[in-house]
């Protein structure tokens, strides 16, 4: 990235942030590339988490590792000001296709933003935290960190997310779907498939019927709802009637009310399949619920100022048509932004082998540093606006206590 060109367009503390990011750019770039080349799955991101923590530690952050009983979560803190800002870093990858969601870019942007701000925390009167949030793809790391108090006292939170080219960089008005993930287990009776098939109860048939029922249901649900599923187990030998079948599935909608209604209809598809085949059915939730994403308008406006400086499109858009993030849970209670940053020239969808390759290109790293500067400038903006600053301090997140034995909260 040509930091000198950006310096020519800025002054004061904005320029100081540019210089700080430029000084750290080589280390951040190497960190991001290393994470990309060594993908780790949810809750197992030991090397990525350790590397990010070391980079921040070397820059003067106090790093607490293994927070909230999550081995790969961390909190890196610098400064003691009354306004607490959290920049979230993600670093887990997807099974079989690596960093096809660009989490190496997310981690790099968050770390670079933090390094840009670190020398200024006393001047800005902020406590700056980089919260390492594992298991965004599967597992809901941020949900667990929220529940366990890691976000206590945080007044504002942010991160960015790379996507394919063509979307507006303006986060205002954009959102993500709520998503819940489940496991349906059908249990029947094994029998010899040739000698006594009539004595068996075929759990695999129940799995097939549930897929057919859900497929037909898709005709009668709104176009922005999503259902996805796959059979993870349905027998092991052709001469045995399968006694167990397991179907992993998820439901998504843009509001919690719509999500709950969709889930009821999908569950009935599984229940009908069990009834038709004579199997029993168990449905268990496998991951925390991801809530819809709320983008803070004031933070979005400050972010957009930075993106305009880079010549990026900040026209207000109608929002995304799909996808989910556990940052949604954070945004429901803490003013947040989660901008979508298009990688120039990227015409492949996220969660594909093609996007995994795109996430390790000069264009991706250019956007990474632009995102870092825009986030840091956003923090600068809220910390130096007296009214907005005080409002955020007054509204800082207070962790709700766990329910008592009597159910009070």
pLDDT tens digit string along 159-179?
Answer: 999 999 998 999 999 999 999
Three-class secondary structure of residue 246 per DSSP: strand
Please indicate, yes or no, if residue 401 is contained in any of the structural domains. no
User: Do residues 140 and 227 share a domain?
Assistant: no
Q: What CATH number is associated with residue 20? A: 3.40.630.10
CATH assignment of the domain containing 275: 3.30.70.360
Question: Domain check: are 220 and 333 in the same one?
Answer: no
Band of residue 399 on the pLDDT scale cut at 50, 70, 90: confident
Which residue among 251, 285, 319 closes a domain? 285
Instruction: Establish if 402 belongs to a structural domain.
Output: no
Q: Which helix (H) or strand (E) holds 25?
A: helix 12-37
pLDDT value at 69 more than 50: yes
pLDDT averaged over every residue in the chain: 95
How high is the pLDDT of residue 102?
Answer: 97
Give the residue-averaged pLDDT of 151-155.
98
Structure confidence by residue, pLDDT tens digits, 308-326: 999 999 999 876 667 999 9
Q: Do residue 259 and residue 321 come from a single domain?
A: no
CB count within 10 Å of CB 228 equals 12
Given 248, 263, 285, which residue is the final one in a domain?
Answer: 285
Q: Is the model's pLDDT at 401 over the cut of 90?
A: no
pLDDT at 405: 40
Domain stops at, among 268, 285, 302: 285
Q: What is the pLDDT of residue 319?
A: 66
Same domain, 296 and 385: yes
Relative to beta strand 83-89, strand 126-132 is parallel
Instruction: Provide the number of structural domains found in the chain.
Output: 2
Same domain, 17 and 154: yes
What's the whole-number mean pLDDT along residues 210-239? Answer: 96
Residue of 93, 176, 182 lying closest to 137 (CA atoms)? 93
For the stretch 204-219, pLDDT in tens is 999 999 999 999 999 9
The whole-number pLDDT of residue 409 equals 25
Mean pLDDT of 253-269: 97
Alpha-carbon gap, residue 278 to 192, rounded angstroms: 18
Does 26 lie in the same domain as 11?
Answer: yes
Tokens of 263: 């889930």
Note down the domain range covering 308: 3-175+290-394
Residue 227's pLDDT is: 97
């Amino acid at each position: 990235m040509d930091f000198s060109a950006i310096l020519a367009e800025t002054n004061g503390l904005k320029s100081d942030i540019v210089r700080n990011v430029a000084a750290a750019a080589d280390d951040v770039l190497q960190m991001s590339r290393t994470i990309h080349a060594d993908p780790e799955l949810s809750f197992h991101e030991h090397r990525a988490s350790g590397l990010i923590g070391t980079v921040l530690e070397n820059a003067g952050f106090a790093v607490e590792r293994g927070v909230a009983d999550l081995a790969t979560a961390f909190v890196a803190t610098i400064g003691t000001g009354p306004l607490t800002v959290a920049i979230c870093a993600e670093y887990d990858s997807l099974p079989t296709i690596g960093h096809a969601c660009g989490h190496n870019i997310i981690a790099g942007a968050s770390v670079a933003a933090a390094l840009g701000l670190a020398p200024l925390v006393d001047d800005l009167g902020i406590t700056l935290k980089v919260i390492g949030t594992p298991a965004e793809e599967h597992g809901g790391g941020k949900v667990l960190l929220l529940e366990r108090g890691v976000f206590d006292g945080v007044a504002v939170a942010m991160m960015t997310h790379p996507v394919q080219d063509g979307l507006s960089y303006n986060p205002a008005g954009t959102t993500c779907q709520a998503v819940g993930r489940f496991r349906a287990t059908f249990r029947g009776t094994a029998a010899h498939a040739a000698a006594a098939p009539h004595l068996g109860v075929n759990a695999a048939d129940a799995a097939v019927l549930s897929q057919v029922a859900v497929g037909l249901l898709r005709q009668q649900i709104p176009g922005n709802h999503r259902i996805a599923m796959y059979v993870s187990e349905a027998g092991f030998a052709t001469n045995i009637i399968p006694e167990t079948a397991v179907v992993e599935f998820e439901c998504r909608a843009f509001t919690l009310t719509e999500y709950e209604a969709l889930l009821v209809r999908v569950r009935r598809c599984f229940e009908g399949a069990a009834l038709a085949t004579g199997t029993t059915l168990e449905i268990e939730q496998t991951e925390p619920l991801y809530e819809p994403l709320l983008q803070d308008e004031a933070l979005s406006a400050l972010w957009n100022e930075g993106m305009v400086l880079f010549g990026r499109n900040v026209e207000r858009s109608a929002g995304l048509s799909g996808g989910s993030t556990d940052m949604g849970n954070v945004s429901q209670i803490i003013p947040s932004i989660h901008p979508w940053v298009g990688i120039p020239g990227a015409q492949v969808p996220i969660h594909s082998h093609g996007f995994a390759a795109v996430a390790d290109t000069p264009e991706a790293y250019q956007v990474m540093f632009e995102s870092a500067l825009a986030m840091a400038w956003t923090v600068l903006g809220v910390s130096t606006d007296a009214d907005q600053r005080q409002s955020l301090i007054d509204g800082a997140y207070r962790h709700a206590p766990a329910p008592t034995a009597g159910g009070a909260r």
